[in-house]
Amino acid sequence: MVKCSNLSILQITKKKLTLTLNVDGVKLSKNSQTTIWPILLVVNEIPPNSRFKIENVIIAGVWPGPSKPSRGEIRLLLRPFIDELLYLESGYIFDFHDGTTDKVQVYLIGACCDKPAQAILQCISEPTAAFGCGRCEVSGFMVPTKNDGNVRSFSMDYDNTINVTKRSNKRYDELITIYQLQQQLKDLWPNKKKLPDVLIDEQREKGIVGVCLLRDLTYFDVGRSFMSDSLHNVYIGAFKRMLDLWLNKKYRKENWNIVKHLKKLAELFSSLRLPSTTTRR
């Protein structure tokens, strides 16, 4: 049994399978600026220790590059893919290894992408722009940097995290209607260089910049079915910042700083047996 993100319960049997999607850019070589963008799928019913083996990963399509696809281009690539998934949702006759055949329904229930790729798939603003979060509608605010620049921060206190509006299929349907109406009015406005403020107010659209084709699927929620990007959110995001606060000597007088315990930490780390995939710089 799989609890899908739209709160429907999908009974998983031999006659039903579920998929997870990944889309990301791959450089042709270390120093190359050329990238290709494969659409990859894994079958969630395959045990985790075998699920991601190369022979079990499905290549559903490839954007040939030479650069990152635009949102319009990714929609062109996804349209036949989505149509195929809709066909599989209705059921398809498969041959099984035991020599039998049966009708199996296949559903896409999740997508695991990094934040830039998710923004393209989800058709929302870039991750560093206003309303660039794929999980909620926080707009963020600009913070000056020491180099006279600005960066957008999405930090908030606990009370605001409770009240923030989360992205969902229902909310998407409301916002895409507003977005499409805005686009129609812009097309009809005679002077495109002098649009009224109401037609350029991005606050109303909450980061929606186009149609997300994944909304067509039965068990895919265009908010919650996008899994958290641990690379940018955790490893080179919050945790990287926390390491700086803990270990940087310029914060040594602060209560949170542990730079004076570095020798003890080094001893503790040397006693750990780390996975073969762990690297140190």
Please check whether residues 132 and 258 belong to one and the same domain: no
Does residue 194 register a pLDDT over 80?
no
In this structure, is residue 203 part of a structural domain? yes
Please check whether residues 111 and 92 belong to one and the same domain: yes
**237 three-state secondary structure:** helix
pLDDT in tens, 243-271: 999 999 999 899 989 999 989 988 998 88
Token look-up 């641990």 returns 230
- Expressed as residue numbers, the domain containing 114 is 2-239
In this structure, is residue 118 part of a structural domain? yes
Q: What is the pLDDT of residue 30?
A: 79
Please check whether residues 7 and 72 belong to one and the same domain: yes
Per-residue pLDDT averaged across 198-209, rounded? 77
By DSSP bridging, strand 92-95 and strand 58-63 are unpaired
Q: Amino acid identity of 3?
A: K
Please check whether residues 149 and 262 belong to one and the same domain: no
pLDDT in tens, 138-158: 988 899 988 888 988 888 888
Q: What is the pLDDT of residue 195?
A: 66
Round to whole Å and give the CA distance between 156 and 133.
Answer: 13
Please check whether residues 254 and 121 belong to one and the same domain: no
Please check whether residues 215 and 244 belong to one and the same domain: no
In this structure, is residue 155 part of a structural domain? yes
Please check whether residues 119 and 37 belong to one and the same domain: yes
Does residue 2 register a pLDDT over 60?
no
The count of domains in the chain is 2
Local confidence band at 8 (pLDDT 50, 70, 90 cut-offs): very low
Please check whether residues 128 and 257 belong to one and the same domain: no
Cα–Cα distance list, 154 to 128, 160, 165 (Å): 9, 11, 14
For residues 165 and 137, the answer to whether their CB atoms sit within 8 Å is yes
In this structure, is residue 278 part of a structural domain? no
Positive or negative: CA dihedral 63, 69, 75, 76: negative
**171 three-state secondary structure:** helix
pLDDT in tens, 44-85: 999 988 999 999 999 999 998 888 888 889 999 999 999 999
Taking residue 46's Cβ as centre, other Cβ atoms within 10 Å add up to: 13
In this structure, is residue 197 part of a structural domain? yes
In this structure, is residue 259 part of a structural domain? yes
Please check whether residues 112 and 28 belong to one and the same domain: yes
Q: What is the pLDDT of residue 225?
A: 95
Please check whether residues 132 and 255 belong to one and the same domain: no
Does residue 211 register a pLDDT over 70?
yes
Q: 93-97, 134-138, 196-200: which range is least confident on average?
A: 196-200
Please check whether residues 253 and 139 belong to one and the same domain: no
Query: Can you list the pairs that 148-155 forms with residues at least 24 positions away whose Cβ atoms lie under 8 Å?
Result: 152/128
Per-residue pLDDT averaged across 178-192, rounded? 80
In this structure, is residue 280 part of a structural domain? no
